[in-house]
Structure formats: C-alpha cells, structure tokens
Structure 1
C-alpha cells in the first residue's frame, strides 16, 4: 500500500509568511498553522484544508495559490532547499530533489526526462494533490529559481492534471505567472524547460556544505521507513538541531510543543530515554561519516555535536568497544 502523501511543517510555514505579507489576521488559520513546527509531518488533506481557508480570505483575487507559492524560500523546503542552494548547477539540484523528494512528500514521485532540446519534471496524475496544492508547489518551484538566479529560466510549458478553471481571468493569471503556455486536464503535472537549464550555475554553490547536507539528508531518509509519525518527527527534529549545533532535550521539547517532562514520559512509555536516543543517532551517523575517507576524525566529532574529539573517542568506545580510528580502518577495508 502506498504511503499517504503529506508535507513537512516547514512547508506549511509558507502559508504563515503569505498571511504576514498580506497583513491578514486570520486567527483561526494562524492558530492551526502555529500548532505545527518544522519537524512535524502534515497530512495532505490537512494541508489542502489550510490552503482552502487561505484562498477564501481573498475571494476576488484570481489564482491566490500562485501568490502563496511565490513566497517560497529554501527554508520552506528544509534540507532540500539548502541542498539546492549549495549545488553547483541545476543538474545537481534536480538530482538532489529527485533523490530526497520522499523527505518532503513521503514518497518518491517526480520523474526527470531529458532530450537534446528539453528537460521535464513530471509528476504522474495519480500523485496530483489537487488544484490548490499542486499550484502552490509548481509556483514555488519557479519562484525558488527566480530568487536564486539573476537570469532565471522561463519554462517552455507547464501542465496540470486538474481541470481548467472556469474563469478566463484565472487562466490568464496562470499564463502570466509562468510566462509560458499552461495546459490543464493533462495526463500529468509537468514543467518543461530548455535542456540548457541543467548547466546553469547556482551563485551560492558550496561543495563542502553540499556534501554535509547530503549526508544529513541520507540519514533523515533512513529514519522514514517503518516508523510512526512521532518517531519520524522526533528524529527529523534531532537531525536538524544536530546540524545546527543546538541539539539538547529542552530545545527538542520546545520544537515539538511539549514540556521536557511530557517528552520524557512519552519516551519512557516506548521504553526509550533521551540519552539512549541521542547515542543511537550519533552512533548511526558516526558509522556513515567514518566510512567517508574525505572526513577527518575531528570533522566527524564536530558533525556529531561533540565539543572535543576526545569526548567523541570516549563515546564511540562506549558504543562499540573500539576507537573511531580502528572502526574507520575496518569500514574502509570492508568497502
């Protein structure tokens, strides 16, 4: 059975930013949005309901969903957004999105096709999230490219699986926003660019940062299968805070909208503890990092949140009974 589609809490904050930009009070909608953190996973039906409430606030404005998507920044896409920033060119960025899309939607959906003249991002019709959510997502894709590049590419065409809006003014708003022909009731959701876009250099590329983010994304991906919503949200939060150098129990509890004591009780009910979770996460990442010969042992200690390599050495010996250096030698021999 396919995993139900969902979005991340970071993506939902896109709607908060739109409300702020429009100076709309919307207390009920804001209360719902504020109950979600970047670490949360938001079921697709709830996201669709939030968007419907937002669109109802601007009944006379055509294609409100496009304006919501236009607010998108890399932080709204989480690690995927920051990976895009750090990539050398759009070909790397597209590959990163395709590799880690499951972190965003809970499934791998996008298909990438390229020919001599065209490059297409394709989402099959069965993966359509409806008129509002699809419009926001594709508008956000174009908006991110427009923010990142001084000469952003113009699509050759954009297609949506949902039927054409009945209002000609709304159809015109879509064509004006995307600056290209827009098709509706299509066999899939698709954005087609000239193939030359793949070579466009991204201005903020940083290979070392990209590699670190790539490792964090790989670890986050490993946390997704066969875990419940709370476990996924907890591990996603811990991974993010670890990468920011601010991972501790009070911070995690605050991010999950819980008191420290409530989080501890919830862990205890699962036979877990904060110290055990932190050790498990660090041990899992340590094995991955030690298998990378491009990282110094001091780099691994820093990535795992240890202030000194000696503290990492002691912890690793406690976990595994061997030193990080001997583990690295063994892992590299195995590879």
Structure 2
C-alpha cells in the first residue's frame, strides 16, 4: 500500500479546513515535517532501504504541515516492512530528539520543573499539531495530561509513537526518570503488543479509553528539568541576548524580570501586576525600577517583544502564527499590528527581506 492521490487529496482538504477556521474552535490537526524524521531515523537504525517510503518522507520533511492521513499511511507502510515485529511504533517514538518536535521541544525543556514542562507543552502544542488539544488536570495525588478525541484521529500507531516519544523525551532529561503511574489509549492492540507496551512504559496501560492519557504522581511535578541539551542552551542564549538588547546595562533585578517575562509570554498574560507578583514586589515598585531606565512597563514589553520577534523571524521553521504565540499574542493579526507599530514594517515583509532589514512599508 502506498500514499496515493486519494490520501493526499483528503489531507490537503483537511489542511484547507484548518486555514479557513484558524482561530476558531474546529480541532482539525496535522503534524510537522520535522516529526516525520522520526520515521526516517528509524529506517536508518533498522537498515531498511524502503525507497518508496523514503521518497514520501523526503517529500514531506520540509513541509510545515503534514496531513494526518498522510502520516497514518506512512506508519502503515513502515509497519508492513517489519511484519513480525511487535509494536514497532514504540521503537519509532523512542528515537525522538528535540529536533523532531522543533521549538516545542526546546520550550518544554526550558521549563524549570516537570510540572511547568507539562503546562508549556499544553500552551505550545499548537506549534506541533496546529491546534490545542492537551488538557492538564490534578486528580487527587496524580497529575494527568490527556488528549480528547479530535475530528481527525491519529490512530493507535500514531498515538503509540507520540506517547513513546513524550515519555522517552522526559527520560533522557531526568536522572533516574520515574515511570508514569498510568497510560491510556483510545485504541487497542494484540495481547503480545499490550505486554510490549507495559514493558516499554513500565506502568499499567488501559485500552479503549475515552482519551489518550499520561498520569504522574503529583510529587513528580516538582522534579527539576536539567536543561542538558546543547541546542536548547543555544535557544535560551539567543532569548537572553534579545532581552538584553531590550534593556541593556541590566542589574540582577532586571535579569530576573527578563526570565519572568519569558514565562508570562508563555502563559499569554504579560501584565505588570503578574510580573510584580512573580518577583514578590508591588506593581508600583516594579514600575519605578523600569522608570530608572526611562521606560514604562508597556514600553519595555514592546521593546522586549520586538527583539524576540526579530530572533524568531530569523527561524524560517516558525510560521508567523507560531511567532505570535511565542510572543504571547492570541492571534497573528494582533502580532502583525504590534510589529508594524514597533518597526513600521510588517513581519512578513521583514522575513522576506531578512530580519535584519527593517525599513518602513511603502504607503
């Protein structure tokens, strides 16, 4: 079975639906081109040639949006290459690296604790799936992150890849990483595959649930994230440099404010009151400290967002909607208006010209 024109047509129509409903409530999902690299890397590790499948993977690797039907079909083809292998989707997912999930992976790893990482994933999931699906909830002594049914289901193989990647991602970052307390899937597998799943995740697995779920004991949420990945450190360094340009000659207090700002942007609520609360001071005191630099809160916020925007616009893997979300805007149009106010240019024009070339738009 191959990825035929019918599959591609269905996938393109699904993505058209995303574009028409951008900012709405329709949960039509996709994956990114970087994600299909999981499958290419698995083929390399297994020493499998698979010319037809590799051609399809190469076709989609550079795309921002990979339709769900295309991703499902590629997994079907991969499974057919190893007919005697039990649950190969787990091996595929276990090859995950930050590069496979792009900036989402770096933003998750940049969190201070496992609990903050879960919330960062929820906030930025739209960078990966094109819509926000994950729900995070405390349930007694457990914390749960779950994904409800969507208009286009990924299917059990794709869900298996995704959760294997998520758990592997955390295992590689944490010393003596504790296993989840439980995982649920909406689909089902053979008895042999079910045993493989339990051995891989080292926890009980529930099948045919209403949601895909991953649960951790609540005390795990305080586990610090060590930030080992060198590419992550590069991202954080660029963010720090951008914020230093917004407020040069900064003191320890201003550097603390810069870190607070990144968290507030991640939460989508960068207000003076929230920043002051996070720094354990009054809003008036924080405003006075900014005033010593000749800046109001709004002026400093705009300057910081502008510097971060220039950095993000240099990364062509980020769409303008992605950049807007990273800067704490709820929609791309609000970011575009703000960026034009800061620079006199539209972000699209700056990206086309190169983020260093800031010239006012022509009338």
> Does 2:116 match 1:66?
no
Correspondent of 2:219 among 192, 196, 203? 196
Shift of 1:90: 1.6
Correspondent of 2:48 among 4, 24, 37? 24
Shift of 1:105: 1.4
Contact 1:86/1:210 (<8 A) preserved = no
Classify 1:73/1:159 alpha carbon distance in 2 versus 1 (closer, same or farther; 3 Å): same
Shift of 1:319: 4.0
1:113-192 alignment to 2 at 5 Å?
A: 113-126=137-150, 128-163=153-188, 165-166=189-190, 168-192=191-215
Shift of 1:95: 1.4
> Does 2:158 match 1:108?
no
Q: How many residues align?
A: 248
Shift of 1:107: 1.8
Distance in 1, matches of 2:163 and 2:218, equals: 18
Contact 1:156/1:181 (<8 A) preserved = yes
Q: TM-score, normalised by structure 2?
A: 0.60
Contact 1:154/1:178 (<8 A) preserved = yes
Distance in 1, matches of 2:39 and 2:310, equals: 23
Distance in 2, matches of 1:64 and 1:124, equals: 24
SS in 2 for 1:192: strand
Q: Deviations over 1:292-313 (max 9, x none)?
A: xxxxxxxxxxxx832xxxx65x
Distance in 2, matches of 1:141 and 1:240, equals: 28
Q: Deviations over 1:262-312 (max 9, x none)?
A: xxxxxxxxxxxxxxxxxx9x966746989xxxxxxxxxxxxx832xxxx65
Classify 1:85/1:210 alpha carbon distance in 2 versus 1 (closer, same or farther; 3 Å): farther
Correspondent of 1:4 among 28, 37, 47? 28
Distance in 2, matches of 1:136 and 1:288, equals: 43
Contact 2:30/2:65 (<8 A) preserved = yes
Distance in 2, matches of 1:284 and 1:16, equals: 40
Correspondent of 1:51 among 75, 82, 85? 75
Q: Deviations over 1:112-166 (max 9, x none)?
A: 1114410001111346421111110011100100111122121111110112x23
SS in 2 for 1:32: helix
Please, what is the CA RMSD of the aligned residues? 3.6
Shift of 1:200: 1.2
Q: Deviations over 1:57-97 (max 9, x none)?
A: 11111110011000111111111011122221122211111
Q: Hey, what does 1:277 align to over in structure 2?
A: none
1:268-287 alignment to 2 at 5 Å?
A: 286=339
Distance in 2, matches of 1:288 and 1:63, equals: 53
Classify 1:31/1:284 alpha carbon distance in 2 versus 1 (closer, same or farther; 3 Å): farther
Classify 1:48/1:289 alpha carbon distance in 2 versus 1 (closer, same or farther; 3 Å): farther
Q: Hey, what does 1:77 align to over in structure 2?
A: 101
Structure with larger RCO (C-alpha < 8 A, sep 6+): 1
Q: Which runs of 5+ in 2 are unaligned?
A: 1-24, 244-260, 269-307, 318-332, 344-353
Contact 1:83/1:210 (<8 A) preserved = no
Q: TM-score, normalised by structure 1?
A: 0.65
Distance in 2, matches of 1:240 and 1:132, equals: 37
